[in-house]
Structure 1
Amino acid sequence: MSLSLQGIGVSKGIAIGNVYIIHHEPVEINEYCVQSPHLPDEIERFENAISLAREQLLHIRKRVPKNSTIDIAAFIDAHLLMLEDSLLSQIPIDLIYEHQCNAEWALKMQCDSIVQSFEQIADPYLSARQNDVKHVVTRIQRILAGYQDSSLESASLSNAIIIADDLSPADTVLMQHHGILAFATESGGITSHTAILARSLGIPAIVGLQRVRSYIQADDTVIVDGSEGFILAEPDERSLCYYQRRQSQEKRYRSALSKIKASPTITRDGTSISLQANIEFPEDIKAVKRVGGKEIGLYRTEFLFMNRTQPPDEEEHLEAYRRVIQEAAPVTIRTLDLGADKQIVDNRQHHYSFITNPALSLRGIRLCLKEQNLFKAQLRAILRASALGEVRMMIPMVSDQSEIIQVYKIVEHLKNDLRQQSIKFDPSMPIGVMVEVPALAICSDLIAPHVDFLSIGTNDLIQYTLAADRNDQSVNYLYNPLHPAILRLIKMSIDGATQAGKPISMCGEMANDKRYVRLLLGLGLRTFSVNPESYLEVKKIINNTDMSHLPSLAVRMLDMTSQAERAELLEAINYES
């Protein structure tokens, strides 16, 4: 009898194969006292575990397939850097001395403290980084407990479908090395490094399949549908034939997409559309080039601030920007947008304290204007980077014109400093804002004349407008891009920018969703900035679109209160004649 389980699809595609279950033995951590004479031995045991963890990761890094993009190795490098960071390499040693406890317990205390800090971050991408800390700490704890390395090392896994509680980026790299078809995990999120890597590697993947190992056994035949986010165990002959056809269709579809890489992005009736790409890391530019992308509409810079105790300096910023500017133009660099993660570190207690409601607190430009030393190092680097190529700077979380004025004053002051030091920069570098706070969308006609460009960030715009966190399972059903309030704010923002003669793009997840591309075109959007994995699919939709009937249909959507009517109209908008 077939069994279907629903999770969250994080990497598209269909895979059919037999199950290999990974049972990561849980590490039981107990506290015990270490007498003073034995503390040096305990410290040595901990340091040896760090060293062995480093050797294991370096071994895995060497096994990254040569035809893979460099961004895969970068995820392993991120874990290696964590092992060097004093948060994991030194503070547990301090705790061993302070509490006269065993290394496992000291590491657990420090890990709990770090994870607590990440859980307070409103931004889902940054909040998901706690999984990377857990993966690194688990590796160290397993070494301290005397467990063997990853279950993937010695197994014969060609054409297998992996089911596990969770997988680290290192496991994901080994999966490609072994020719694994797909994976499904009980935990994990859409923004985890493992999910990002699965998309980069082209492995269908599902997360959030709670208790999947209780229902599916080793060697069961399963179908993984990464697009729809479900797994079908022991399919009948009819289901198997259906998904085999789907696999063939998907293969032909991807092959057809690759043929339009070099073609312009233009509708059937001749409307030229600008298609740009979003990136998280400098290495992501490789993925952009693979799909024929040349422009970066959103370069997130938060990675520079993660997994470290001190903020990056100006030279670190500049080097990260330089690597992208050499490969693309223009490059829109978004200034720091940590999600209310202003950390107050007590070095004696090794814990973090936070503001109660992080989503409505210090984040984006608010944090940067409060911590101007942090901000100025990044601004100077962006200005210097503008001398290397076509660079634009984008300010997140703006809600009022006064914030823009403050930014301009700081930028002008830094320009004068650079002139006095004879350091080159582009004096006319464009400065724009993200439209993600409803207040800015409503006042877009007032703000647009004072900036060079705007970009709509739908993730936060929807969250703040509907008071619904899409990552909170109790209210994420309210997270609806088709809500008339959202569509009106998008239309208002586009119209405000157009009236002021300023370009406006969309870099949020809504622009990546093929269901909404034509609706957004009808609302007047002419610049899309999407993730590399969605780039060609969005281009294909645009190239197959006739714009003539879209504006009237899209405007009708603004006045519809019925969800069923909106769904019906969206189907009509997406109908290909």
Structure 2
Amino acid sequence: MASFTLHGIPVSRGISIGRAHLLTPAALDVKHYLVAEEHLEAEVKRLQDALAEVHRGLQALWTDLPKDAPTELGAFIDVHALILSDPMISEAPLDIIRTRHYNAEWALVTQIDELSAQFDEIEDPYLRERKADIQQVAERVLKVLMGTAQLAPAPVTDEEFQPQMIVVAHDISPADMLQFRDRSFIGFVTDVGGQNSHTAIVARSLDIPAAVGMSQASQLIEQDDWVIIDGDAGVVICNPSTLVLEQYRARQAAMLKARKKLSKLKKTPAITRDGTVITLLANIELPDDCPHALDCGAEGVGLFRSEFLFMGRSGQAHKIPSEDEQFEQYRKAVVAMKGRPVTIRTLDIGADKPLDQTEHTALNPALGLRAIRYCLAEPQLFLTQLRAILRASAFGKVRLLIPMLSHVFEIDQCLAMVEQAKAQLREAGQKYDAAIDVGAMIEIPAAALSLPMFVKRMNFLSIGTNDLIQYTLAIDRVDYEVAHLYDPLHPAILQLIAMTISAGMKAGIDVAVCGEMAGDVKLTRLLLGMGLREFSMHPAQLLSVKQEILNCDLTTITPQTRKILRTTEPHAIVEAVQQLQVI
């Protein structure tokens, strides 16, 4: 196979080397995990049982057909029964389970995708349309499998069955990406996306190299091609030569060695050379991320993105998790952090994080009914979440964070609903922290320009730099065509961040940065010079940032930062920030 290189947008550092695994949109709807050798026949039987159940269902449909039913209905059932009995459906996926160790759902979708591709090449339009029948039969089987998902074996942990697979897709939603948390998948390549889309953020939180905005990667890369992802450069090399492969393996080994060296800083306090104490917190998506956060030395959770508990539930009877279900997840995170503070952000959906992939109905979802606007429009949903978070606060230090506030009436409405949730819990005899801190995300320019109304009402502030940059510069951070305009060093962005930190310091309330800027070591000294004392980032970035803090003297950096804030020429700002790195 000929070697070729694709250039896109780097979103997650590191190097991955593995085989390409192409995912169609349909494949993203099912779980992906590898099955251990001793569980293979049980997994085969799980698929066989599902096929048999669908077959019985089709027979029942045939039997229950009314006498006056159109003959086409009977023929339709017959066609589906024949498809179900065909070895390409009834046997081929079983072979995939046995040979590739795929779970049943994944094996079935893999086989259906291969069949669908063959049907696309048929010239006869009637026969080509039979692809839809095959897909409908597969959907019936998948529904049965997913309905008995609790019978599935646990994902394999044995290294023997861990092929190094790189996911290649047109696009992957943040909820879909969370499926790929086991070690089978070591990298992500997508045609679309921007550096600060939530998909990219999740890739960084999983600490997996990724490159997005690759345009036609999913068409050019073929199944099982050898692929190298250079996450630092945003480069993907397909079918590399032996020499290139050896060079990247050497770089990969050097990175691993450097990471091991950083691990020695886990228990070292984050204190600058001049003795200033800095707080380093972790951003998490799910409670299961807490052990990794602690292992990296996080002093707490600065951002628990609660929306990931709500997403990817389209196959469930109730799309919105119940109060008890939410409470258990929040409590689990609070207990896992062993007394360290946990900042839980209320539901932040919309834009590139819809509750359901079919919900993109707004002309511009980033400016529509999202985050706190959505919650205030759905007060019962909001109250349910508030009660769940408050109940979790009885088990440790919890802070409540409200996203996307811009109007004073939104702040007052939120605080009133927090009090209403407290009253409901008191009436029910439920315990909670009556003095829970409530904070605001500063991520809309209007909020950063009207800070007095925030510091007067809120206990703390957290700057969401991802959306602040998006809204200030009028750039859709999901759109790779305008990704080059996304600039955290734009003078307007720096002014808004500096104003927020200064307002918090004057009011005596904590200010954190929880956006991607917090985890960028090239910007650590700049933020410190602005007065930032609380950083929240992905656990994977924490030790690198800590190392930068330990090597930093604020008495030298602060005056230089003030000069940068007075600068308006972009190239001069970039040069000055680079100079900060060597002070």
Which TM-score applies when normalising by structure 2? 0.71
1:270 aligned partner? 275
2:577 aligned partner? 570
Question: Which residue, 473, 490, 493 being the options, matches 1:486?
Answer: 493
For each residue in 1:293-341, what CA deviation from the matched residue of structure 2 results, as whole angstroms up to 9, or x when unmatched? 2400111111232224542221111011011011112111111111269
Between 492-501 and 558-567, report the one with greater CA deviation.
Answer: 558-567
Change (3 A) 1:3 1:556: farther
| Secondary structure of residue in 2 paired with 1:570 | helix
Q: 5+ unaligned residues in a row in structure 2: which ranges?
A: 27-69, 108-128, 146-159
Change (3 A) 1:543 1:344: closer
Question: Which residue, 433, 457, 474 being the options, matches 1:426?
Answer: 433
1:84 aligned partner? none
Change (3 A) 1:398 1:535: same
Say yes or no: does 1:331 pair with 2:338: no
Between 431-440 and 37-46, report the one with greater CA deviation.
Answer: 37-46
Contact 2:20/2:227 (<8 A) preserved: no
Change (3 A) 1:182 1:468: closer
Question: Which residue, 431, 446, 455 being the options, matches 1:439?
Answer: 446
Contact 1:507/1:528 (<8 A) preserved: yes
1:314 aligned partner? 323
Contact 2:195/2:483 (<8 A) preserved: no
2:391 aligned partner? 384
2:464 aligned partner? 457
1:91 aligned partner? none
1:61-460 superposed matches below 5 A: 105=132, 164-165=168-169, 176-177=183-184, 184=189, 186=191, 204-212=209-217, 224-232=229-237, 243=248, 246-306=251-311, 307-308=313-314, 310-328=319-337, 329-339=340-350, 354-460=361-467
Contact 1:6/1:231 (<8 A) preserved: yes
| Secondary structure of residue in 2 paired with 1:356 | coil
Question: Which residue, 519, 527, 549 being the options, matches 2:534?
Answer: 527
Post-superposition shift, 1:354? 3.0
| Secondary structure of residue in 1 paired with 2:344 | strand
Change (3 A) 1:212 1:528: same
Distance, in Å, in 2 between the alignment partners of 1:78 and 1:282 is: 26
Distance, in Å, in 1 between the alignment partners of 2:278 and 2:7 is: 36
Distance, in Å, in 2 between the alignment partners of 1:530 and 1:495 is: 21
Distance, in Å, in 2 between the alignment partners of 1:536 and 1:336 is: 29
Letter in 1 for 2:400: M
Contact 1:20/1:161 (<8 A) preserved: yes
Letter in 2 for 1:258: S
Change (3 A) 1:239 1:398: same
Distance, in Å, in 2 between the alignment partners of 1:566 and 1:420 is: 56
Q: 5+ unaligned residues in a row in structure 1: which ranges?
A: 28-32, 65-75, 81-101, 110-135, 144-155
1:35 aligned partner? 72
Contact 1:267/1:546 (<8 A) preserved: yes
Contact 1:445/1:499 (<8 A) preserved: no
Post-superposition shift, 1:487? 0.5
Change (3 A) 1:241 1:310: closer
Contact 1:343/1:354 (<8 A) preserved: no
| Secondary structure of residue in 2 paired with 1:259 | helix
Q: How many residues align?
A: 488
Change (3 A) 1:10 1:45: farther
| Secondary structure of residue in 2 paired with 1:255 | helix
For each residue in 1:184-204, what CA deviation from the matched residue of structure 2 results, as whole angstroms up to 9, or x when unmatched? 555677689997786677654
| Secondary structure of residue in 2 paired with 1:516 | helix
Change (3 A) 1:314 1:568: same
Post-superposition shift, 1:41? 6.0
Distance, in Å, in 2 between the alignment partners of 1:340 and 1:183 is: 21
Distance, in Å, in 2 between the alignment partners of 1:210 and 1:351 is: 23
For each residue in 1:126-152, what CA deviation from the matched residue of structure 2 results, as whole angstroms up to 9, or x when unmatched? xxxxxxxxxx979969x9xxxxxxxxx
Distance, in Å, in 2 between the alignment partners of 1:342 and 1:277 is: 20
Change (3 A) 1:404 1:562: same
Contact 2:352/2:478 (<8 A) preserved: no
Contact 1:172/1:198 (<8 A) preserved: no
2:515 aligned partner? 508
Change (3 A) 1:249 1:419: same
Contact 2:227/2:240 (<8 A) preserved: yes
Change (3 A) 1:79 1:457: farther
Change (3 A) 1:550 1:159: same
Distance, in Å, in 1 between the alignment partners of 2:400 and 2:105 is: 26
Distance, in Å, in 1 between the alignment partners of 2:90 and 2:204 is: 29
Post-superposition shift, 1:372? 0.5
| Secondary structure of residue in 2 paired with 1:426 | coil
| Secondary structure of residue in 1 paired with 2:362 | coil
1:114 aligned partner? none
Which TM-score applies when normalising by structure 1? 0.71
Q: Which has the larger radius of gyration?
A: 2
Distance, in Å, in 2 between the alignment partners of 1:548 and 1:38 is: 82
Contact 1:399/1:439 (<8 A) preserved: yes
Change (3 A) 1:45 1:319: farther
| Secondary structure of residue in 1 paired with 2:394 | coil
Change (3 A) 1:47 1:353: farther
1:466 aligned partner? 473
Distance, in Å, in 2 between the alignment partners of 1:44 and 1:235 is: 45
Distance, in Å, in 1 between the alignment partners of 2:494 and 2:284 is: 25
Fraction of identical pairs, as percent: 40
2:120 aligned partner? none
Distance, in Å, in 2 between the alignment partners of 1:342 and 1:23 is: 23
Question: Which residue, 545, 548, 551 being the options, matches 2:552?
Answer: 545
Distance, in Å, in 1 between the alignment partners of 2:402 and 2:253 is: 44
Distance, in Å, in 2 between the alignment partners of 1:189 and 1:48 is: 44
